[in-house]
A and B are shown apart, each in its own frame.
Chain A
């Protein structure tokens, strides 16, 4: 028996959110007196895979079939289900992401597993198996009891702070039978900005709204984001107007983020916007209107004009 962690790769490297999941899974293994195995699909070198050991994994299963090179939620679910069977795992841990969502649901269907999405703490095992999750888009929490024999925990970013230690995990090649039906969808074209910090993975986020007036003004937002090595985000009207790509839209109907720092520039703070960002650790609001509702949900605020303030903040970051 072991806790199984599904870890994702981004360009051959284990994603940061997956390292958090590995650390979380290792903690659960410790609590339940078992070991933590990571399952990773797709191309990566052994040194990178073995580094899962620094975050507490005691073994890495590497699914190397070339058909798994492109992320595929359905095929990955087949692979993870085979790993669950081989390892006799009762608890599966992963970091929430669009690929993980697709994988997890298929897996839950295969295993008839009890699934908790948006887990934000380690489980409470004192009386059954209780996990705390974020619900109503961050407006509340639920204490869920997972009653099924097999449990899947999809953790939200910043649930736990991983601690690194020395050590590597042995890597075993894993070659389960694949299911032809999982490859029925053909990918014709992928558009992905490479090199940028992925918004759901980012520790720091600089976000801007309609107060920026137009797409031509985003330079000052990007300058601050670059200086901080932050990802950029935007409000819904900004992506609706095509000022920014849809993948940057945060809020109730967009991406939910929980970074260490969220800087909102020229965003009024509508409840639907707050819903997607209010679990950020620190929130900074810059708005020229002192009555903007966002200030009520902020830790730091500046009443001022973004066109004046942002370039000055960028210079101050560079001077750090």
Chain B
């Protein structure tokens, strides 16, 4: 079985977001980049499937050279090889086109992604790739088991979940509790250095969306504290002042 895991390189979840160049670029000074937390779930499950069934795991990122530390970390966690499409990933359709092009070259049985990126929170790339390849896409996936060419899947729906069965190949957007996040060990880090990382140039150049500028939310006003012994007045304030109940 061949598994392709698509990962983003995104600011750490604790990052205080700021912009530069007249609010047209993310200020990367002091920002630590990590694999998207949902992509980490996808990778962890892929590595488990590799350990269980001997699948091969390829990691794919569409990004510029500065994403390589994140890719190396995925190799350290257990992926066998990696591909980087050398382009700024500034549009979901464009990114999906790159992933679909790679997937068309090698036929993967499973393409695992995160449920959504934590920078643009689109939650779209898996579905677009599925459409481009003409195969089913399912998200958000909470449990995944493979038996032969059939996948047993639990997907979250609003207010609950459903169990699904589908034939490979599939594109899946993953979330917890599909697997536990994995931390690379020393041996993994050492071997990752020599695992193949292929860099390819992008195909197609269509950017269907661009960002003109960014903005930070206005800070919330000062908090109004209510003494515990008068807690009931909160309900009056929500009713009469904030008018939300």
Contacts and interface: CB of A to CB of B under 8 A. Distances in A.
A118 B119 CA distance: 12
Nearest to A96: B123
A144 B207 CA distance: 12
Interface in B209-245: 209-217, 220-221, 223-228, 231-232, 234-239, 242, 244-245
A149 to B, nearest CB: 9
A204 to B, nearest CB: 7
A105 B127 contact: yes
B137 interface: yes
A186 interface: yes
B209 A146 contact: yes
A213 interface: no
A148 B208 contact: yes
A115 B223 contact: no
Range class of the B interface residue count = 35 or more
A89 to B, nearest CB: 16
Contacts of B131: 77, 105-106, 108-110
Contacts of A142: 120, 211, 213-215
A262 to B, nearest CB: 10
B121 A135 contact: yes
Contacts of B238: 261, 282, 284, 300
B93 A115 contact: yes
A301 B11 CA distance: 30
A115 B92 contact: yes
Nearest to A74: B136
A137 interface: yes
B200 interface: no
B67 to A, nearest CB: 17
Interface string A148-175: 1000000000000000000000000000
Interface in B161-175: 161-167, 175
Interface centre among A101, A188, A193 (most CB of B within 10 A): A101
Nearest to A105: B127
Interface string A102-141: 1011101110111111100000000000101011111111
Contacts of B78: none
B212 A105 contact: no
A109 B164 contact: no
Contacts of A146: 208-209
Nearest to A260: B244
A106 B120 contact: no
Given A252-B13, A272-B13, A320 B37 contact: no
B137 A106 contact: yes
Contacts of B208: 112-115, 146-148
B122 interface: yes
B236 to A, nearest CB: 8
A304 B231 CA distance: 9
Contact of A188 (B120, B130, B165, B216): B165
30 contacts: A73-B137, A98-B156, A101-B124, A104-B127, A106-B127, A108-B92, A108-B128, A109-B96, A109-B127, A112-B208, A114-B93, A115-B92, A115-B122, A141-B216, A143-B213, A143-B214, A185-B165, A185-B166, A186-B164, A190-B160, A193-B159, A240-B177, A271-B13, A271-B14, A284-B238, A300-B238, A302-B231, A308-B228, A309-B228, A313-B232
Interface of A: 71, 73-74, 77, 97-99, 101-102, 104-106, 108-110, 112-118, 130, 132, 134-148, 181, 184-193, 196, 198-201, 203-204, 228, 240, 245-247, 252-253, 256, 260-261, 271-272, 275, 278-279, 281-285, 295-305, 308-309, 312-313, 315-317, 320
